[in-house]
Structure formats: C-alpha cells, structure tokens
Amino acid sequence: MNTAYSKILEKLGIQSLNEMQEQVIDSVLNKSDIVLISPTGSGKTLAFLLPLIDLLDKRIADVQALILTPTRELALQTESVFKSLGTSFKIN
C-alpha cells in the first residue's frame, strides 16, 4: 500500500484495506473496467476513489474524471467520501 493511502486510511480511522478494496485498486490503476457487487458498507466507494486520486494530476485544472451514479443519494455519498479523503482536488 502506498504512503498516501496509509495517511488517508489513518485519517479515516481504517487500519487496513479489505481484499475487495485491494483488488479494485489494482484494477483501477491498470485502467481495467470494474463492476463491484458487494454489500452496503463494504467499502466500494473508497475502493474506487483511492486509486482515482493517483490518476489525477494536480497541475490540470480541467475536469479529469466523471463519476456516474444511479441515484442522487449515491452521488452525495460519493462526494462526502471523496471530501473526507482530504485531497486538494475539487469535486462537484
């Protein structure tokens, strides 16, 4: 696990990633398509947001990623989790 992830997880009070999260991170970083089917509260949102941070470039001010969600509620949850990561990236 990289140092940036360790700092974020510590900030969130998470000791380690679960197996699903580790596999998702590898897939996202390899730019593979992923479909996650896992129970509510299993860490799916964090699983795809952590590697997304690695793929974003702080020098680029334009939109770099688009996250589509099936409901407004899930979009708000994703926004909340992203903000809790404490990155310098803006999310709308």
CATH number of the domain at 27, please.
Answer: 3.40.50.300
pLDDT at residue 88 tops 90:
no
pLDDT for the residue 91: 86
Is residue 69 within 8 Å of 75, Cβ to Cβ?
yes
Sign of CA dihedral 14, 16, 19, 20: positive
Which residue range forms the structural domain that includes residue 13? 3-84
Q: How confident is the model at residue 31 (pLDDT cuts 50, 70, 90)?
A: confident
pLDDT at residue 8 tops 80:
yes
pLDDT for the residue 1: 62
**What is the Cα–Cα distance from 48 to 26, expressed in whole angstroms?**
10
pLDDT for the residue 49: 93
- pTM exceeds cut of 0.75: yes
What is the domain count for the chain?
A: 1
